[in-house]
Amino acid sequence: MTLGQHSTALGLFATHRAALIDYASGIVGSRAQAEELVQEAFLRFAAAKDRPPVERPAAYLYRIVRNLAIDWIRQRTREERRQTEEPAWWMLPDLPRTPEQEMLYRRDLDRIAAALAELSPEARLAVEMHRFDGYTLSEIAARLNTSVPTAHRLVRGALVKIALQFGDGPEE
């Protein structure tokens, strides 16, 4: 930006500063924040060296202020939403179990282990790959050298057997 352009931009800013702050205050609801946004808008306006000449520089400056104000509101809304959201379950500390809860937990694990032990090696591998390792049915089928429907039947059958250990099996 040449010296003449810089003084023109500075003059434009000085002329419209108070009105720009009032304009931004109406959008963001804070005069202090509006002053910061207007300063940022001027810096962006003055720093645009390679842009073609603007036909209506005051309107362009108002547009920059408006866009900055809207961006600021969006950012603040995202931050407020993050602060009010419940943290993800995996971020919360695990609460210590009572002795009764620990006993029930171990009993459930024993039931699952017993159900897995009764499965064929192929079905046990299929359900372990699917539930514990997150493999897809096509990946399980490729590993077991079988079809996807067969892998699905193996996983489903194993899950039904485990559910029956808890009395949650399908009713037929």
For residue range 52-93, what is the model confidence (pLDDT) as tens digits? Answer: 777 888 898 999 999 999 999 999 998 888 777 777 666 777
How many domains does the chain contain in total?
A: 2
For residue range 8-62, what is the model confidence (pLDDT) as tens digits? Answer: 778 888 899 999 999 999 999 999 999 999 999 988 888 876 677 778 888 989 9
Owning domain of residue 29: 3-84
Q: Give the CATH number of the domain where residue 108 resides.
A: 1.10.10.10
pTM: 0.47
The reply to whether 171 falls in a domain is no
Whether 106 and 76 map to the same domain: the answer is no
Residue 89's pLDDT is: 65
Of 35, 8, 7, 4, nearest to 22 by C-alpha is 35
Interacting residues of 123 by C-beta distance below 8 A, sequence separation 6+: 154, 155, 157, 158
Of 88, 70, 90, nearest to 27 by C-alpha is 70
The reply to whether 14 falls in a domain is yes
